[in-house]
Structures are given as structure tokens and as C-alpha cells.
Amino acid sequence: MPITGGTFVAGIVLALGLGVALAAVWFRARAATVAAREAADSTRPIADTLARIETHIREIEAQRQHMMGGIEQQLGALSKETVALSQALRVPNARGRWGELTLRRVAELAGMVPYCDFYEQESGAGQRPDMLVRLPGGRTLAVDAKVPLAAYLDAEAATSAPAREAALARHSQQVNRHVTQLSGREYWAQFQPAPEMVVLFLAGDHFLAAALERDPDLLDRALAKKILIATPMTFISVLKGVAYGWRQEKLAKNAEELRSIAAEFYDRLRSFAEGYAESGRHLARALDSYNRSAGTWDARVLPSLRRMSELGAGGSQEAPQILPVDSAVRDPHPLVARPEVRLPEA
């Protein structure tokens, strides 16, 4: 079948349209590829940064895990040491030694060590205090640190609230019982001079707080028996006051010694002034004797020597000329000025 002109033209138009469509699709695909490549290039720094952040986070997590493992080990060791300390404080000798060391530290913080005003391990008839503080004026202050703490340690180790409350109640009773026992020891009868008061030293504020929470009148009853319950903070204040009293007494002693030295120096200076004035009087008498002898020389001796020289009986040299001394000896002022006497007005 022969191809007509219209059919040929329609084929050409259809081919051109198909080519244009294919070209448009190709350009769109290329543009999409370029856009995707540009987007990937633009987001590559962000991806690298995120990768580095992820690596850093993993390193931090590894370090945290390592640190947590070390902390767990330290907590385990601390728990063992705490249990060992709790068991050691249940032994009376270890608890007493701990209280004595705490007393020593408190005394050091209060500045009492240089003055040697406290004495640990003082022995007496029967029971003995853990420390004996020397007060100004020859007085003393006995300190006891042997308070039982077994009930308080039971309260800290209790796993239930009722058990803890029961242990704290026993702790308050033990402290109250120790106050009664301490008042019965009568330290004031064992030492001379007698202690003004006995200090019941608790090595921690929480020990006293737990006892007062169950027995608010504990301090009043203790003071009525001449027992002062003190913790490290309150006892430091007491020792600070004692150290201040010792410093004031030392200043008073220094002032008294200075007054004695000044009086002795005054007497020595007065004795020196008396000797000095006596030497002045002797000097004045010597000067008066010299002037009289010079006058005698001029009036009586020198004319005779001159006459002898004129008669040829003199030597080759003339007699020296003796001149009188006109300066007077100055009298020193008295050591104590005499008060001026004023005449009454007419």
C-alpha cells in the first residue's frame, strides 16, 4: 500500500514528539541525579560529625562503665571498712581509745596543747577520767569519754523502723545510766584540788541528738548531778574559754613580774643616782680645794718665788702659773620631782 504524504508527515511529527518526551525525561532524570549528588555532598559533613559524635559517646559510655566499676569496688571496700569500724567500736577498749584520740584532737583544735593544761590517762583511786584539764586558779575539770555506743550502732545497722526505734531508746537509756554511774564515781573526791564539774564527752553530735530526741530532760538531770554532756563542738568552745583564761592569767603574771622588775630597776637607778650625786659633791669639794690652793699659790707662794729669782736663788725655769677653775659643778635633778607648793591667794 503506497504511503501518502499525510501519513509521512504524521509519522515525522509523532517521532519528534516522542524524542522531545524522551529528552525531557532524560533531563529530569539527570537533574534529579545532580540534585541527589549535591544533597549527598552537602549532608556528608553532618554525617561525619554524627559519626564522630557517636564514636565519642561510645568512648564516654565505656569510661563511665569503667568508673562505675571502680566506684562499686570502692563502695564495697568502704562498706567492709564501715563494718569493721562498727565492730571495733563495740569493743570497750577500742571505743575508749577512739574517744581519747578525739579528745586529743579537740584539745589541739582549741589551742590547749602549747599550754600543757590538759592531761590524758590521769590515774586516781578507783575509776579514772580520760582527761583532766587544769583550769586557771588551781582548779581542774575531769573529762570522761567512755560512753557505751552499742545500742546506737544497733540502730544504724537495723533494717526496720521498729528495730531502729527500739535501739535508739536503749541508747538513750544507756547514756542516762552512764550519767548516773559517772556521778557516783565522785572524781571531786579523788583529785586535789577537786574538779568543779565532770564532762561527759560524746565523740559525735549525732550521739547526743539521738539521746535527747528520746529523753529531752537528759541535760537538766545531768547538770543537777554536776555532769556536763558535751560534743566536740561544745567542748571546743569550753576549751577555748579555758585557753583564754590561761592567756589572761599569763598576762597578769607577766604584768606582776614586770612591776617587780620595774621596782627593782627603780631601786638600782636610785642607788646609782645617789652615788652619782655623791661623786658630784666630792668633785665640788675638790674643785673648792683646788681654787683655794690656787689662791694661796698666787698670794703667798708665787711672790716668794719671784723674790728668790730676783735675788739669784732661783733656777733657770720659771714656776708654772696656776689658774683657778671658775666652772661650777652642776647638781643633778632629783629622781622624784618635788611637788610645787602654791601659796594661797590673798
What pLDDT score does 345 carry?
Answer: 53
What pLDDT score does 203 carry?
Answer: 83
| pLDDT, tens digit, 9 for 90 and up, residues 40-68 | 666 667 777 778 888 888 888 888 877 77
Q: 235 is written with which cell numbers?
A: 567542748
Confirm if 296 and 241 have CB atoms less than 8 A apart. Answer: no
147/302 Cα distance (integer angstroms): 108
pLDDT at 24 over 60: yes
What does the DSSP 8-state code read for residue 144? E
Helices 150-157 and 5-89, interaxial angle, to 10°? Answer: 160
What does the DSSP 8-state code read for residue 338? P
pLDDT at 305 over 80: no
What pLDDT score does 131 carry?
Answer: 80
- For residue 111, give the 3-state DSSP assignment: coil
Confirm if 235 and 202 have CB atoms less than 8 A apart. Answer: no
Q: 42 is written with which cell numbers?
A: 552537602
189/119 Cα distance (integer angstroms): 18
176/170 Cα distance (integer angstroms): 10
Helices (H), 188-231: 205-214, 218-224
pLDDT category of residue 335 using cuts at 50, 70 and 90: low
What pLDDT score does 340 carry?
Answer: 52
- For residue 311, give the 3-state DSSP assignment: coil
Confirm if 255 and 301 have CB atoms less than 8 A apart. Answer: no
pLDDT category of residue 35 using cuts at 50, 70 and 90: confident
- For residue 1, give the 3-state DSSP assignment: coil
170/164 Cα distance (integer angstroms): 10
Buried b (16+ CB within 10 A) or exposed e, 118-131: beeebeeeeebbbb
pLDDT at 281 over 70: yes
Q: What's the mean pLDDT in 123-129? A: 56
Average pLDDT, the chain: 76
pLDDT at 14 over 80: no
115/78 Cα distance (integer angstroms): 38
- For residue 271, give the 3-state DSSP assignment: helix
In angstroms, the first-to-last Cα distance of the chain is 179
What does the DSSP 8-state code read for residue 187? G
Confirm if 147 and 178 have CB atoms less than 8 A apart. Answer: yes
| pLDDT, tens digit, 9 for 90 and up, residues 208-253 | 888 888 888 989 999 888 888 988 888 888 888 888 888 888 898 8
The residue type at 75: L
Whose grid coordinates read 527500739?
Answer: 166
| pLDDT, tens digit, 9 for 90 and up, residues 131-190 | 888 888 878 888 888 777 878 878 877 888 888 888 888 888 888 888 888 888 777 677
Contacts of 290 (CB under 8 A, 6+ apart): 324, 325
Taken in order 123, 124, 126, 129, is the CA torsion positive or negative? Answer: negative
Kindly list the structural domains of the chain, giving each domain's residue range(s) and its CATH number in brackets, ordered by start: 92-252 (3.40.1350)
User: How much is the pTM?
Assistant: 0.54
pLDDT at 16 over 60: yes
Nearest alpha carbon to residue 188 among 137, 125, 239: 125
In terms of Cβ atoms closer than 10 Å to its own Cβ (0-12, 13-18, 19+), residue 239 is buried
What pLDDT score does 124 carry?
Answer: 45
Confirm if 195 and 188 have CB atoms less than 8 A apart. Answer: yes
pLDDT at 204 over 70: yes
What pLDDT score does 346 carry?
Answer: 43
- For residue 342, give the 3-state DSSP assignment: coil
Q: 38 is written with which cell numbers?
A: 549535591
Confirm if 314 and 305 have CB atoms less than 8 A apart. Answer: yes
What pLDDT score does 110 carry?
Answer: 82
What pLDDT score does 329 carry?
Answer: 66
